Amino acid sequence: MGVMAARTQKPLELILARNLLTSISTPAFLLDEHGAMVFYNEAAGALLGRSFEDAGRMSAEEWISAYGPFGDDGKPIPLDDLPATQAVRMGRPAHGVFRIRSAGGAEHEIESSTFPIVASEEGSSGAMILFWRLDANHGDEVPR
């Protein structure tokens, strides 16, 4: 069997993951096998202050630059140090506590769990990242 020529369609496991994330009220991102953010749900859009429809697909560098996560020094955490990167590359779940910044400039402390999506021994197809806000100042941005 050979390798397919042109493939425009996402792997089925990513399609199903997106459909799931669309249906839940926990803020969540979907990353592809390169770590690019290919979808986030309405709850995540409320947290980030910008809907996915407005933002569109973003490379790993773009979403880190826009939203973080940031370290205690206020600088974006390097891509290689992120648990999500490890999850995509190593195919292992990861967990962490970070600060992110919404499109409106508000900072939030969040806890995130990243679940790699592995459909075959050929490696990870991407990952789902689910978020929980830890800061007390929830405001009106997050559905409770």
Partner 1 sequence: MRVKVWGARGSVPSPGPKMNRYGGNTSCVQLTLDSGEILILDAGTGIRTLGLDLATAPKVNILLTHLHLDHIQGLMFFPPCFRSDVEITIWGPASPEASLEDRVARYISAPLSPVEVRELPCSVSFRDTRPSEWQIGSATVRTESVNHRGPTLGFRVTEGETTLCYIPDHEPALGATLAELEPEWVSGYDLACDADLLIHDCQYTDEEYPEHAGWGHSGMDDTLTFANRVGARRLLLFHHDPLHSDDFLDELHATARRRWGELGGDPALVEMGMEGGELEVAPAPVSASVRASV
Residue 38: CB minimum distance to partner 1, A: 9
CB nearer to partner 1: pick between 23 and 80 = 23
Tokens describing residue 75: 């600088």
Contacts with partner 1, residue ranges (CB under 8 A): 1-5, 7-13, 15-16, 18-20, 22-23, 119-122
CB nearer to partner 1: pick between 66 and 118 = 118
Tokens describing residue 131: 């978020």
Q: What's the CA gap between 99 and 118, in Å, rounded? A: 28
Q: How far is CA 43 from the centre of its chain?
A: 12
CB nearer to partner 1: pick between 77 and 127 = 127
Residue 5: CB minimum distance to partner 1, A: 7
CB nearer to partner 1: pick between 44 and 82 = 44
How many CB atoms within 10 Å of residue 127?
29
Nearest to 40 by CA among 9, 62, 8: 62
Residue 9: CB minimum distance to partner 1, A: 4
Q: What's the CA gap between 17 and 79, in Å, rounded? A: 23
